[in-house]
């Protein structure tokens, strides 16, 4: 068994790290609080990033390969969640009825809970050219995962 090419392993780290950086910049730089489905996309990217880092530092080729493909799967899962989320935002289908979160501020906890705005999953907080952040995550993650997988397969 040959090791996964370095470029493919590097991209498996860069893609989820970039997606997380974009999400955090949107949240803390532009005040776009994440809804529940946004968090699900983030969790998949975080898992992919951790797995890709482990694949990078692991010397055992078999373990490296398994970790790498699990990282690619994490990127795909985030993209699929993003696609589902985008469909909910565009009202193509109904989302989960419990999908909302609140943005809590400082001070008294009860006052913060009672006055916190509800972040809805079926309303896009931002869009560019009619595509929401969830839509861009879907497109970017799935295309990147396909490219990374292609690099890995071609390099063998």
Instruction: Please report the pLDDT score of residue 89 as a whole number.
Output: 86
What are the strands, taking DSSP E only, across 13-126? 100-102, 118-120
Instruction: Please report the pLDDT score of residue 47 as a whole number.
Output: 97
Task: Round to whole Å and give the CA distance between 80 and 116.
Answer: 29
Q: Of residues 147 and 2, which shows the higher confidence score?
A: 147
Is residue 101 predicted with pLDDT exceeding 80? no
> How does the average pLDDT of the chain come out, rounded?
86
pLDDT digits (tens, 9 = 90+) for 5-55: 899 999 999 999 999 999 999 999 998 888 888 899 999 999 999 999 999
Residue 105 banded pLDDT, cuts 50, 70, 90: low
Instruction: Give the SS3 label for residue 97.
Output: coil
Question: Residue 66: how many CB atoms within 10 A of its CB?
Answer: 16
């Amino acid at each position: 068994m040959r090791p996964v090419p370095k470029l493919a392993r590097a991209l498996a780290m860069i893609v989820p790290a970039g997606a997380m950086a974009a999400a955090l910049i949107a949240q803390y730089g532009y005040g776009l609080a994440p809804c529940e489905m946004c968090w699900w996309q983030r969790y998949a990217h975080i898992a992919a990033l951790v797995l890709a880092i482990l694949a990078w530092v692991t010397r055992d080729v078999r373990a490296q390969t398994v970790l790498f493909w699990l990282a690619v799967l994490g990127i795909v899962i985030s993209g699929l969640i993003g696609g589902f989320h985008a469909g909910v935002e565009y009202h193509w289908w109904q989302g989960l009825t419990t999908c909302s979160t609140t943005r809590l501020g400082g001070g008294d906890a009860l006052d913060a809970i009672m006055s916190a705005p509800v972040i809805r999953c079926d309303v896009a907080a931002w869009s560019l050219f009619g595509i929401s952040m969830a839509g861009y995550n879907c497109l970017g993650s799935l295309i990147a995962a396909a490219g990374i997988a292609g690099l890995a397969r071609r390099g063998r």
